[in-house]
Structure 1
């Protein structure tokens, strides 16, 4: 299986298109992760709220524990401090929820920004490449098969006339020479068909 043409012009075009496709995919992935990083910055307030809430809850909890040790009124002093600590934990939970929401949005956005453009690039790039690979394999098998040169010559005759313009025309024309089995003309025409496909004899 041949991935690239043997003729320089077509091979260079194929390599260039492959490089452009890979570059586009790389740029898309890089851009998507840059967007993800920008979105994740929105989670910073959530991290600060979570950190502050946890810190405040710990401090109030410690204060409540200390107040609980006060004789007679320890229970009364501890209760409001514990309630405040619980409220601070709620703030921390809210901060964590904000971070999770931002992370979810960032993940979905990144996935969409990668999948859609990459699928579009692959849709434009892969089918022609795979089609050429399949055709080149068919042409090569045909060239190596008995009587394949005749079929390739016929393919050249039925193809674009510009490919035949540079060929010397025998008396009666190329088609007549092919019908009469002129091996030189058949070989020349088969070379034209192979060259058109980017292959060498």
Structure 2
């Protein structure tokens, strides 16, 4: 399970990079650019279509998942540290903190249960997040499989302020999925409802 621990460390360390007040996206550290993705899918294998007045549907070209996201959120499937990142727009001209979601997918042993997967990952999180405190957690049925959702707060890595992290853990067909939403703790989250809709739209 060492690989699982390393994968989750990337999720949380990615959160550190994205949540700094300077607000430099991970990809910008390597490319110096932050261009919005081209959602024109005429000649693209990545199917992005409007599913409602609020969400667009993205279908993974490898057939592993689908997810919806609002058209004014930035969708990036070229990240080195996650399968994708979906970043909120600024709430106003003074907003320097952007909420975001990301997804990790990894190959795992066929006998690994979601309970095993959660325990290994959360043990690593508790070591990595200073002042870790759980807000809520539950196992439940999702897409016909047992899944786990948790919300917790703390300071990941070298962060100097608390964030709130919501994560969904799923295991299916030899793959582990971790969907993460990060927001700033102690502030009203204007995008919480939208983030919940994105979470609910995720299918694997």
The alignment's TM-score, normalised by the length of structure 1, stands at: 0.20
TM-score (ref. length: structure 2): 0.20
| Structure with the largest fraction of strand | 2
Higher share of residues assigned helix = 1
